[in-house]
Chains A and B, each alone.
Chain A
Amino acid sequence: MKTSDRILGIFGSFIRQALVIGATLLSLFPVYFMIVSAFKTRFEYIEDKWGLPQSLYWANFNTALAGEKFFIRFANSSILTVGSVFVSLIIACLAAYAFARMEFYGKRTLFNIILSLMVVPPVVMIVPLFVAMVRWKLVNTYHGTILIYTGLLLPFSIYLMTNFFRTIPREIIEAARIDGCSSLRVFWNIMMPLSAPALITLIVVNALWVWNELLIALVFMQKDELKTLMVGIAALRSRNYVDIPATMAGLLIATIPIVIVYMFGQRYFIRGLTGGAVK
């Protein structure tokens, strides 16, 4: 190797490391800022905004949990997340099984239509959906909002599961069929257990999406006792400028479930979110 190349190499790897570290610090700073602020007193926060807290001031969490009906909001978000992830999973798997392992008229067209719905922004449907949901008396109900979320989750879920079901060898299904299994039994006793990794991916990605969603929750869960955590947080913007540490404590509690799920299921996240795009 030429000397000039080696100097370039050392210099290059230094720049690379420095840039990546810089980017990492930048992407962590807001999270760091949220955590340290959550443990400061209001006075401490005004004095020193980005330093470590002198001691852990837990009272912020009491303030956060007492105000803004935190527990109800947390429960509402959980109900909607669990409900819509579960319902969409069952419906999507049934449809994906048909797409992956059955022959029928219009299969390709139907699949392409469902694919294209994957990126249709919910905001364009929100007005007519609201009009319809008012008529069906589903506004301000858990099941109504779960229905909307289920619908919005279906295209991606069907796509992911169809791709996964296609990788399950036909021979296994044929063998079960010869043994006299009905389609439904094959689906329930063979396809579903074999799909555990894909199912976990789907649950993790969808749960994250519903938990974080704002617009639908804002429009369809308007009653105060039905508001979700994200709607509650969005409302803090103007009101709580005074007590920033308490707000930060609330944000921290709202973020913790996501971080925990991320730590345990990182590879599922990455697989799910890059699935299909990368081949």
Chain B
Amino acid sequence: MSLGVSRRYKLLRQIEPYLFLAPALIVIGMIFAFPIVRLVTLSFQRPFQGEMLFVGLTNYQTIFKDEVFLRAVRNNLTLLISVPIMVLIALILAIFLFDRIRGWQFYRTTLFLPYLLPITVVGLIFSYIFQLSGVLNDFLKVIGLERFILDWLGSTKLALPTLMFVIVWKEVGFGIVLFLARLMSVEEELYDAAKIDGANWWRLQWHITLPQLATTIEFFTIVSIITILSWVFGYVYVMTGGGPGNSTMVTELFIYLTGFRYNQMNIASAVSVILLLVTGIFIFLELRLRERSVTLEELS
């Protein structure tokens, strides 16, 4: 009798974790696993007389001949320039705030604010700032720099750099707060000891701040790369719609347009598979980094 109870209890303890996990696994299966599997099969198919036919790599061959797609990829790669810029700006501002300049808490609050605002709202405000009769050009006129009055979002040469400015403007706050939070957990003694040894400001940053921030910088870099490759849809959709003349087309917008405006789901799937593979590399790197920080936590 008592043996039976304890065996049932044991069985319960064995299946119990899976009961707690079940709802999460079902939803994740529906929203992640199933679509990703389906994505791969869709990318090898084409509709023919109401049925899906296996066409091998045809869709992939099509997109690599597609001018607009290639343009989108080039634009995403160009936008990657903003990653080192963001790291550098975030680093400088975080170090300054960490030096406890007067009012640093207020500055932290305001510098972080852009990161929280909706991309849609930010994009719309900036398109009023950068339009031909917008705030920026009015301002340039007032200070007498008329030859710099340009069509910031309407010219094929300037639209992408302008877009990049807005992305940096919004995303950099995350880096600042991230770096600052890490710096605050560095033991003060490290700095005190170095100061007693007569190290100047630059040496403190070079020998203490940077090594202490290394992992966080790595993390922010990877997250920013993922952002630039696959989370800039909102900016482009609101500010330029990919134009003028595809000069700001990005992979995400290409997927959206081919899939939902031109109803070529299979082409869109092939592009999605490629995007997933590319971001996959960085997702893997990010995971390795997190794993390292989790094990550190368990050890301590």
Which residue numbers of A lie inside 8 Å of B, CB to CB?
5, 12-13, 16-17, 19-21, 23-24, 26-28, 30-31, 33-34, 37, 49-50, 90-92, 94-95, 97-98, 102-104, 107, 110, 112, 114-117, 119-121, 123-132, 147-148, 150-152, 154-155, 158, 163, 166, 183, 187, 208, 211-212, 214-215, 218-219, 230, 233-234, 236-237, 241, 244, 247-248, 251, 254-255, 258-259, 262, 266, 269-270, 273-274, 276-279
Which residues in A have their C-beta under 8 angstroms from that of B39?
Answer: 124-125, 127-128
Residue of B nearest to A46 (CB): B133
Residue of B nearest to A261 (CB): B116
Q: Which of B110, B117, B131 contacts A24 (CB 8 A)?
A: B110
A95 and B216 form a contact (CB under 8 A): no
- Give chain B nearest CB distance to A102 CB in angstroms: 4
- Give chain B nearest CB distance to A226 CB in angstroms: 16
Q: Chain B: how many interface residues by the 8 Å CB criterion?
A: 105
Q: Which of A19, A129, A254 contacts B121 (CB 8 A)?
A: A254
Which residues in B have their C-beta under 8 angstroms from that of A49?
Answer: 134-135, 138
B107 interface contact, C-beta 8 A: yes
B101 and A112 form a contact (CB under 8 A): no
A147 and B296 form a contact (CB under 8 A): no
In the bound complex, what is the Cα–Cα distance between A132 and B134 (angstroms)?
A: 44
B 181-220 to A, binary, CB cutoff 8 A, 1 in contact else 0: 1100100000000000000110000000000000010011
Which residues in B have their C-beta under 8 angstroms from that of A187?
Answer: 20
Query: A262-B116, A273-B174 given as contacts; is B31 within 8 A of A147 (CB)?
Result: yes
Q: Which of A91, A211, A259 contacts B23 (CB 8 A)?
A: A91
A120 and B177 form a contact (CB under 8 A): no
Which residues in A have their C-beta under 8 angstroms from that of B32?
Answer: 117, 120, 125, 151
In the bound complex, what is the Cα–Cα distance between A26 and B34 (angstroms)?
A: 44
Q: Which of A92, A128, A258, A266 contacts B117 (CB 8 A)?
A: A258
B101 and A95 form a contact (CB under 8 A): no
Which residues in B have their C-beta under 8 angstroms from that of A37?
Answer: 128
- Give chain A nearest CB distance to B148 CB in angstroms: 17
Query: A27-B110, A95-B21 given as contacts; is B178 within 8 A of A128 (CB)?
Result: no
Which residues in B have their C-beta under 8 angstroms from that of A214?
Answer: 118-120, 233-234, 237-238
In the bound complex, what is the Cα–Cα distance between A115 and B289 (angstroms)?
A: 11
The total number of A-B Cβ pairs within 8 Å is 283
In the bound complex, what is the Cα–Cα distance between A95 and B21 (angstroms)?
A: 5
A237 and B216 form a contact (CB under 8 A): no
Can you sample 23 A-B contacts with CB below 8 Å?
A17-B101, A24-B110, A24-B111, A90-B23, A91-B27, A92-B24, A95-B20, A97-B20, A119-B286, A124-B36, A125-B39, A128-B36, A214-B119, A215-B252, A215-B256, A233-B238, A234-B124, A237-B241, A244-B128, A254-B121, A255-B118, A258-B118, A278-B178
Q: Which of B104, B129, B174, B201 contacts A30 (CB 8 A)?
A: B129
Q: Which secondary structure dominates chain B's binding surface?
A: helix
B64 interface contact, C-beta 8 A: no
Which residue numbers of B lie inside 8 Å of A, CB to CB?
14, 16-18, 20-21, 23-25, 27-28, 30-32, 34-36, 38-39, 42, 89, 92-93, 96-97, 99, 101-102, 104, 107, 109-129, 131, 134-135, 138-139, 169, 173-174, 177-178, 181-182, 185, 200-201, 216, 219-220, 223, 226, 229-231, 233-234, 237-239, 241, 252, 255-256, 259-260, 265, 268-269, 272-273, 275-276, 279, 282-284, 286-287, 290-291, 293-294, 296-298
